[in-house]
C-alpha cells in the first residue's frame, strides 16, 4: 500500500509529538479515517438525489493506568490533534481503571494485495455512475408488467483510507473501494402492492451485475402478490439466503466476546458445547479476498485472520479485540471494529458466514413436504434478540406443499429460540451470499424444522 504512506507517517509523527502531552506512562493511539463517496438515487427515470461526501477525522485513545479517555475531532492538523490528545488525557480520569485496557504491540507485517482497492471507482465519472442507477431502475421495471415503479434505485461508492498508529510502535494504513447498487421495486395488482429488494456489491462499478439484481428484486416483489395470512402451526421453514444472512447478525452479536463477558449473549459460557446441528459451521474471515469487510488489520491495528466460531455444531470460540482477549486470557482474533473515528474500538464480525452445504434453494424446497419459504423478515432489530436468544419476527413468504411453492403469505410471524433454530437446522444449501449492510454477513439457504409460525385464518 505504497500510496498510503503519507497518512501513516503523519500519524507516526503526531504520536511522537503527543507522547509527553498524554502524561507520564500514558499510552496513546491515533486512528484516522478519510472517506470520499458518491451516492446516486434515481426515481422515475430522473436523478432524485446525488450526494458527494468528503470527510475525515481523527480519534484519539489515551490509556492512563488502565483508565481510558477518548476524544475525536474533524479538524485535521496538529493543533486539533493536540487539543484532542489533551482532552482524552483529561477525561481518562473519570473512567474506571481496568488493567485489560491495552493497546496492541506490533505483530509482524500486514498482508497486502487483498483485492479491496480498485482505481476504477475514482476513474469513473459521476455521469456514468448515474447511468448505472438509471439502468438498474429501467431493467427492474421492464422485468414484469406488474412492476409499475421502483421505490428507489441506488448506486453508491466509497473510497476510504484508514490509518492507525500507537505509542507501542504499531502503525499501518490501507485504502479500499466499495461500490454497491440496490433496488426496491413495487409490484401492484388490484388494490395490493408488495415490495421486493435485491442488491450487489463489488470493488469496482463494472463488476455490478445489474440484470441479476433487477430480475431478482422484481421476482421477490411479484411472487408475493395475492398473499394472505395462514393459521398458526408448527412447521418446517426454509430461510432464503438473504433472510438467513440477517439471522447471522444475531449470531454475530451473540458471538462477540464483549457480549459474552457482559452477560449479553445467549451463547455465553457455551464454549466447547454443542449448540447447533452438525451441519452448522460459522466462520469469520477478515482476509476473504474482495469481501466487503476484508482489511489487513482491524480497527486497533491487529492483523486480521480466518477462524471458525462454530465447528460442525460445536461452539469453539468467540470474537475478540485486545480488551476482551486480555480479560478472557486469550489472543485478539483481529475483531476490533468501530463504525467511525468517533468511536473507540468495540468487538465485531468481519466477514461472518455460515459455511455452505449442498443443494440449491429449489432443491431444498423440493425436499419439504409441508412448510413455509421465508423471503423477507420484518423487525429483525427488535425481534431477534441476541441477549435472550428469542426470535419473534414478522415474515413474508410462500407456502410449501409437497415440495412445491404455493400460496404467498403475509402477516405471519416466526417465533422461537435461536438455539432451537440452530439445533433443528436440517439442511444448509450451497448458495452463500453476503449482505453488506451491517458489517458483512453471509449465509446460504437454511432449512429449520419445527418452527412456530403464527397468523390468522
Partner 1 sequence: MTLLDQDLAARVIGLALSRGGDFAELFAERRSGYNLRLEEGKVEENISGREAGAGIRVICGESVAYAYTNDLSPASLEETARAAAAAARAGKAAVVDMEKPLRHLPRLEEHPVRLSLGEFPRERKVELLHRADQAARETGSHIVQVVVVLGDARQEVFIANSLGEAVTDLRVRVRMVVQAVAAHEGEIQTGHESPGILGGYELFQEFPPEEIGRAAALQALTMLEARPAPSGPMAVVIANGTGGVLFHEACGHSLEADAVYKRASVFAGRMGQKVASPLVNAYDDATLANRWGSFVYDDEGVRAARTPLIVEGVLVGYINDRKRAMRDGAEPTGNGRRQSYRHVPIPRMSNTYIEAGGGRVEDIIADTELGLYARKLGGGEVNPVTGDFIFAVTEGYMIRKGKVAEPVKGATLIGNGPRVLLDIDAVGDDIDFDTGMCGKEGQLVPVCTGQPTLRVRELVVGGTTEVI
Contact pattern from residue 298 through residue 337 relative to partner 1, giving x for each residue in contact according to CB under 8 A and a dash for the rest: ----------------------------------------
Nearer to partner 1 by C-beta: 226 or 379? 379
Which residue's CB is nearer to partner 1, number 95 or number 160? Answer: 95
Query: By rule CB under 8 A, what count of residues binds partner 1?
Result: 75
Distances (CA, A) of 165 to 85, 162, 318, 321, 403: 14, 10, 26, 16, 56
Closer residue to partner 1 (CB): 87 or 144: 87
Q: Which residues pair with 57 in a beta bridge?
A: 33
Question: According to CB under 8 A, which one of 120, 131, 138, 343 is a site residue for partner 1?
Answer: 343
> What does the block give as the cell for 39?
451516492
Cα R_g (the chain), whole angstroms = 24
Closer residue to partner 1 (CB): 363 or 437: 437
Q: Does 125 bind partner 1 (CB under 8 A)?
A: no
What grid cell was written down for 164? 492507525
Does 134 participate in binding partner 1 (rule CB under 8 A)?
no
Question: Taking a C-beta distance cutoff of 8 angstroms, is the pair 149, 218 a contact?
Answer: no
Nearest to 387 by CA among 243, 282, 251: 251
Does position 339 interact with partner 1 (CB under 8 A)? The reply is: no
Measured from the Cβ of residue 318, the count of other Cβ atoms closer than 10 Å reads: 28
Q: Which stretch binds partner 1 (CB under 8 A): 43-51, 204-212, 276-284, 331-339?
A: 43-51
Inter-CA distances, 174 with 34, 110, 305, Å: 11, 10, 16
Question: Does residue number 392 form part of the binding site for partner 1 (CB under 8 A)?
Answer: yes
* Region of residue 123 (left: phi > 0; alpha: psi -120 to 50; beta: else): alpha
Which range of residues in 22-30, 81-89, 109-117, 423-431 is near partner 1 by CB under 8 A? 81-89
Q: Does 69 bind partner 1 (CB under 8 A)?
A: yes
Beta-carbon contacts of 342 under 8 Å, excluding residues fewer than 6 positions away, are 57, 59, 72
Q: Which of residues 251-270 bind partner 1 (CB under 8 A)?
A: 262-264, 266
- The reply on whether position 131 binds partner 1 by CB under 8 A is no
Residue 237 lies near partner 1 (rule: CB under 8 A): no
Helix-helix angle 78-91:5-18, to 10 degrees: 50
Using the minimum distance from each CB to partner 1, give the nearer residue, 193 or 407: 193
Per-residue burial over 125-143, b = 16 or more CB atoms within 10 Å of its CB, e = otherwise: eeeebbbbbbbbbbbbbeb
Computed from CA positions of residues 274, 276, 279, 281, in that sequence, does the dihedral angle turn out positive or negative?
Answer: negative
* Residue 390 interacts with partner 1 (CB under 8 A): yes or no: yes
Nearest to 387 by CA among 359, 410, 417, 365: 417
The span of 133-141, 310-318, 375-383, 427-435 binding partner 1 (CB under 8 A) equals 375-383
Closest approach of partner 1 to the CB of residue 289, in Å: 28
Instruction: Answer whether 365's CB lies under 8 Å from 400's CB.
Output: yes
79 binds partner 1 (CB under 8 A): no
Q: Report the C-alpha gap between 403 and 364 in whole angstroms.
A: 8
| Residue span 163-202 as binding mask against partner 1, x where in contact by CB under 8 A, dash where not | -----------------------x-----xxxx-------
Question: 52, 99, 113, 329: which one contacts partner 1 (CB under 8 A)?
Answer: 52
The reply to whether 382 sits near partner 1 by the rule CB under 8 A is yes
415-454: which residues touch partner 1 (CB under 8 A)? 415-416, 452, 454
Q: Give the residue among 367, 364, 372 at the shortest CA–CA distance from 455.
A: 372
Q: Is the CB of residue 298 less than 8 Å from the CB of residue 321?
A: yes
- Is 99 near partner 1 (CB under 8 A)? no
Asked whether position 128 contacts partner 1 by CB under 8 A, the answer is no
Give the nearest distance from C-beta 140 to partner 1 in angstroms: 15
Alpha helix positions (H), 265-354:
322-328
Residue 229 as a binder of partner 1 (CB under 8 A): the answer is yes
Q: Closer CB to partner 1, residue 96 or residue 109?
A: 96
Per-residue cell: 234:
408448527
By CB under 8 A, residue 241 contacts partner 1? no
Cβ 274 to partner 1 shortest distance, Å: 17
Amino acid at each position: 500500500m505504497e500510496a498510503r504512506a503519507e497518512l501513516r507517517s503523519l500519524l507516526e509523527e503526531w504520536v511522537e509529538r503527543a507522547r509527553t502531552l498524554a502524561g507520564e506512562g500514558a499510552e496513546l493511539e491515533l486512528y484516522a479515517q478519510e472517506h470520499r463517496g458518491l451516492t446516486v438515487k434515481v426515481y422515475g427515470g430522473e436523478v432524485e438525489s446525488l450526494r458527494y461526501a468528503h470527510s475525515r477525522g481523527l480519534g484519539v485513545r489515551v490509556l492512563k493506568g488502565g483508565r481510558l479517555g477518548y476524544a475525536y475531532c474533524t479538524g485535521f492538523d496538529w493543533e486539533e490533534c493536540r487539543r484532542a490528545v489533551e482532552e482524552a488525557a483529561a477525561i481518562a480520569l473519570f473512567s474506571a481503571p481496568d488493567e485489560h485496557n491495552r493497546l496492541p504491540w506490533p505483530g509482524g507485517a500486514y498482508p497486502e494485495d487483498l483485492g479491496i482497492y480498485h482505481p476504477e471507482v475514482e476513474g469513473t465519472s459521476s455521469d456514468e455512475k448515474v447511468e448505472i442507477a438509471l439502468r438498474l431502475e429501467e431493467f427492474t421495471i421492464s422485468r414484469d408488467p406488474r412492476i409499475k415503479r421502483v421505490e428507489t434505485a441506488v448506486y453508491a461508492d466509497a473510497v476510504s483510507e484508514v490509518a492507525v498508529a500507537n505509542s507501542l510502535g504499531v502503525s499501518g494504513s490501507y485504502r479500499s473501494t466499495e461500490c454497491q447498487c440496490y433496488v426496491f421495486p413495487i409490484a401492484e395488482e388490484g388494490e395490493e402492492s408488495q415490495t421486493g429488494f435485491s442488491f450487489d456489491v463489488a470493488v469496482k462499478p463494472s463488476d455490478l451485475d445489474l440484470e441479476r439484481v433487477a430480475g431478482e428484486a422484481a421476482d421477490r416483489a411479484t411472487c408475493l402478490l395475492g398473499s394472505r395470512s395462514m393459521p398458526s402451526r408448527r412447521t418446517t421453514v426454509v430461510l432464503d439466503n438473504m433472510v438467513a444472512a440477517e439471522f447471522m447478525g444475531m449470531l454475530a452479536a451473540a458471538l462477540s466476546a464483549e457480549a459474552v463477558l457482559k452477560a449479553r449473549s445467549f451463547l455465553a459460557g457455551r464454549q466447547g458445547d454443542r449448540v447447533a446441528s452438525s451441519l452448522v459451521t460459522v466462520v469469520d474471515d477478515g482476509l476473504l479476498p474482495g469481501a466487503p469487510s476484508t482489511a489487513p488489520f482491524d480497527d486497533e491495528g491487529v492483523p486480521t485472520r480466518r477462524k471458525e466460531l462454530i465447528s460442525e455444531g460445536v461452539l469453539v470460540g468467540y470474537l475478540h479485540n485486545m480488551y476482551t482477549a486480555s480479560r478472557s486470557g486469550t489472543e485478539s482474533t483481529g475483531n476490533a471494529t468501530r463504525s467511525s473515528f468517533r468511536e473507540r474500538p468495540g468487538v465485531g464480525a468481519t466477514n461472518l458466514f455460515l459455511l455452505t452445504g449442498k443443494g440449491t434453494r429449489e432443491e431444498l424446497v423440493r425436499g419439504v413436504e409441508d412448510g413455509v419459504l421465508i423471503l423477507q423478515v420484518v423487525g429483525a432489530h427488535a425481534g431477534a434478540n441476541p441477549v435472550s436468544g428469542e426470535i419473534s419476527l414478522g415474515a413474508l413468504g410462500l407456502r410449501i406443499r409437497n415440495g412445491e411453492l404455493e400460496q404467498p403469505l403475509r402477516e405471519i410471524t416466526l417465533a422461537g429460540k435461536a438455539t432451537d433454530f440452530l439445533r433443528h437446522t436440517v439442511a444448509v444449501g450451497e448458495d452463500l451470499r453476503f449482505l453488506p449492510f451491517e458489517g458483512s454477513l453471509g449465509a446460504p439457504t437454511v432449512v429449520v424444522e419445527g418452527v412456530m409460525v403464527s397468523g390468522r385464518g
